[in-house]
Structure 1
């Protein structure tokens, strides 16, 4: 943080918090935002709880807080999102309610006996999120956006492992993307968080409800997107039987308008789109932004992608998916395994 930005931050905090607070800077995520935990002085504490706030620092030249505030307002009617304590939109500072330090990832790691119960709670929270009117003023997850995200796979991941598509493969890739998009857009449309996983759900220290964070990229899109994000989390590995049980559980919670087999197919198709995107994003984070830690998560994402394609092939869901899987196995996986052998 530059000296000028630090001075702006302290000016904002001094204008909104009693003197004597301390600032604890937190590790960065995949965005340009920074977060700081603000510890209030003893005289500003209420009761016996140590009071803290979370400061979002979003430099206006690279990020805007407008969309965060807009989505926060929409989601607050149904799910537990942070209260806004103070704001300076022009300078890009938000002082937020602090849910605490316990992520959903910690809950399931520290209390494995109750892991499935925590996931039930996360799925129920997702049902609440999807109960919000999908006509809310949010962007549509357009065909163009879905395609651009999948192209991160061809633009970043394939060059990283030194694989180049042949002309025939390029035609197949376009047909495959068109099919994915058509299938996704035929699904019921709901509010989609777009990053609903173990690091963006919190154990709220002041409530029994899970806290939901990092929602500023919400859109209107397919009802399986956030489910995939949760049960095929890039950072947590469960077997296919467990994944299918959670998909079945969500299917019953929402009373889906299709049979179970069709819903699993819809979920796997949505997952393919997401995992192609994530493979590209993780490489971009490493190559462009120097965030190399995401490389170790690539094998989990690739396993998920292959599992989804294999399920669709085994259940005879369109030959397009089988054709893409065959190309992946023939032209991609050997190069991928060689490049990522230290992570496998």
Structure 2
């Protein structure tokens, strides 16, 4: 019986000339693995030509959605070309954008952070220009609700906060409020993880490379903006966040006020950050990926900043949930994360 390594080498040997080398890369939050493939040939600059191999064991993760979404998104944004594929065994040989993530660009002291973010916002506008008639599932109430349930199923037990009978009613009312508000937002193609680790400086193009898009859906137009400006791995102050929300508002040429748009962004952000708090705990508890615990304080700050903004701007439906969060959840959270 062939091992996974044997299958990988058979795929590469079938699609590449002899003399290539394989470098395995660090894993991410999924079951996929990536390998950088060095060819013996050199490019015009004298550097080795490289590809990326996506290795997705079919019993754990399919590459079908990646291929489908890549074919959709390539019309609007810079996604990796697929050089060779074995869908059944879960191998894709991809164009290699290089090793410079957007996260590296914005931490470069010599770089223009605002210019990089303007490019990321413009790329998002391009992504949202795609037709919503494409074959992607809807980011509907059921999906959004299931994601928020990660907060009560994983995060609350981890910090030791209980969802008592009264709190269950508060929680249900708050979820209904969020879902009703999100449902009114215009629908676009949503990347679902549009942040500093999933954008790349393409070594062969001036356009930002967009990766890790296989979970794309048709959903609210604020979701990817929240992912970018309230990135779990990058911290900016609230003045900066609101400035970027304003910049996107202008780039989109929206016909609603900036205050109304900011409200929409913060409502979507609350949904996303409730989900992410649960996901990061699940990655630790279920998948032994404890490194995501270090990012929880940033996510919690984003959540409380969004709730505070909404409450201060007259969203009375937020007050009851925010009060419960501050009185019950936050003490348990601070006790757990001070250890």
TM-score bracket relative to the smaller structure: over 0.9
Take 1:46 and 1:200, find their aligned partners in 2: how far apart are those partners?
Answer: 25
Aligned match of 1:327 in 324, 327, 336?
324
Matched, 1:127 2:120: no
Matched, 1:296 2:294: yes
Tell me the CA shift for residue 149 of structure 1: 0.2
Give unpaired runs (5+ residues) of structure 2: none
Take 1:63 and 1:288, find their aligned partners in 2: how far apart are those partners?
Answer: 17
Take 1:56 and 1:320, find their aligned partners in 2: how far apart are those partners?
Answer: 44
- The within-5 A match list for 1:111-260 is 111=109, 113-260=111-258
Deviations 1:141-200 (A, max 9, x none): 010000000000000000000111111110110010011011011000000000000000
Structure 2 equivalent of residue 95 of structure 1: 93
SS in 2 for 1:55: strand
Matched, 1:45 2:52: no
Tell me the CA shift for residue 320 of structure 1: 1.7
SS in 2 for 1:51: strand
- The within-5 A match list for 1:103-114 is 103-111=101-109, 113-114=111-112
Take 1:310 and 1:191, find their aligned partners in 2: how far apart are those partners?
Answer: 29
Decide whether the 8 Å contact of 2:105 with 2:111 is kept in 1.
Answer: no
Tell me the CA shift for residue 113 of structure 1: 4.8
Take 1:39 and 1:188, find their aligned partners in 2: how far apart are those partners?
Answer: 44
Matched, 1:55 2:27: no
Structure 1 equivalent of residue 268 of structure 2: 270
Take 1:213 and 1:307, find their aligned partners in 2: how far apart are those partners?
Answer: 29
SS in 1 for 2:48: coil
Take 2:186 and 2:256, find their aligned partners in 1: how far apart are those partners?
Answer: 10
Give unpaired runs (5+ residues) of structure 1: none
Decide whether the 8 Å contact of 2:182 with 2:264 is kept in 1.
Answer: yes
Deviations 1:218-258 (A, max 9, x none): 00000000000000000011000000000000000001231
SS in 2 for 1:178: helix
Aligned match of 2:333 in 325, 332, 336?
336
Take 2:133 and 2:237, find their aligned partners in 1: how far apart are those partners?
Answer: 36
Tell me the CA shift for residue 20 of structure 1: 1.1
Tell me the CA shift for residue 135 of structure 1: 1.5
Structure 2 equivalent of residue 15 of structure 1: 14
Take 1:114 and 1:247, find their aligned partners in 2: how far apart are those partners?
Answer: 18
TM-score, normalised with respect to structure 2: 0.98
Tell me the CA shift for residue 46 of structure 1: 3.5
Tell me the CA shift for residue 322 of structure 1: 1.4
Take 1:264 and 1:294, find their aligned partners in 2: how far apart are those partners?
Answer: 28
Tell me the CA shift for residue 305 of structure 1: 0.1
SS in 2 for 1:207: coil
State the aligned residue count. Answer: 338
